[in-house]
Amino acid sequence: MRKQFAVLGLGRFGSSVAETLTELGHEVLAIDIDETKVQHLADVVTHAVQADGMDEETLRSLGVRNFDVAVVAIGKDIQANILVTVILKELGVKYIVSKAQNELHGKVLERVGADKVVYPERDMGHRVANNLVSANVLDYIELAQDYSIMEIVAPGIAHGKSLGELNLRARHGVSVLAVKTGEKINVAPGADAIIKENDVLVVVGENRAIQNLATD
């Protein structure tokens, strides 16, 4: 279903969000205080408007309150980021996603009504670090402190063995959620599923345990 998104702040993060949502077939209103940023996206998104996100009247006249989701992607100016979040909340926007610079900023955003707080720099840092520690870690979703879902290249010890034989849950405390073989994916692999070289495993467990497994 086609949804309506408003993206406020068109720096690297905001413009990437706006472009991707458009590519996914959604309607995007992109707003920035800086005219050149707006020009940049004018041909890409549904509407690109030069405006100050802190100007409540302008947001009202643009009909932002009727959008399904608003993304506050203003970065360095923490004050503007928080005030825009407050204004969007007061306008009654159903779902507000705000980008935080740090944990304290994130807490403030939650207090003032952001439905979701994102930390793109921190998350990307985690991803890059995990990939640097082990090139076999392809992707990463943090579930809780120290626990994640990771996509890893099947380690050498697993090649030609079944999940039952490997018994990763008992040995490493790691559960295999899916096995990818090329384009094919087995989302509920049984104990008899055989792991082949070049397979990719989607696993859940403690970060350290997964890292150990990935380098086995």
Answer whether 163's CB lies under 8 Å from 152's CB. Answer: no
The residue to which tokens 């030609």 are assigned: 160
Among positions 37, 70, 152, 203, the unique one binding ligand ADP when judged by CB under 6 A: 37
Binding status of residue 52 toward ligand ADP by CB under 6 A: yes
**Pair of tokens at residue 53:** 């996100």
Nearest to 134 by CA among 190, 215, 23: 215
Q: Does 77 bind ligand ADP (CB under 6 A)?
A: yes
When asked if residue 19 is in the footprint of ligand ADP (CB under 6 A), the reply is no
In the set 18, 21, 74, 158, which binds ligand ADP (CB under 6 A)?
A: 74
Q: Please give the order of strands across the beta sheet that includes 175-181.
A: 137-144, 147-153, 200-206, 175-181, 184-186
Binders of ligand ADP in range 88-127 (CB under 6 A): none
Rounded to 10 deg, the angle between the 207-214 and 120-133 helix axes is 40
- The answer to whether 212 and 172 are in contact (CB under 8 A) is yes
Count of CB atoms within 10 A of residue 189's CB? 18
Q: Is 33 in the site for ligand ADP (CB under 6 A)?
A: yes
Total residues at the site for ligand ADP (CB under 6 A)? 21
The stretch near ligand ADP (CB under 6 A) out of 18-26, 49-57, 88-96, 208-216 is 49-57
* H or E element that contains 17: helix 12-23
Give 141's contacts (C-beta < 8 A, 6+ positions apart).
148, 149, 150
26 forms part of the interface with ligand ADP (CB under 6 A): no
| Interface residue with ligand ADP, options 21, 30, 80, 137 (CB under 6 A) | 80
Least CB distance from residue 10 to ligand ADP, whole Å? Answer: 5
Kindly indicate which of the ranges 72-80, 107-115, 165-173, 207-215 contains the residues binding ligand ADP, using the contact rule CB under 6 A. Answer: 72-80
Footprint of ligand ADP (CB under 6 A): 8-14, 31-34, 37, 52-54, 73-77, 80
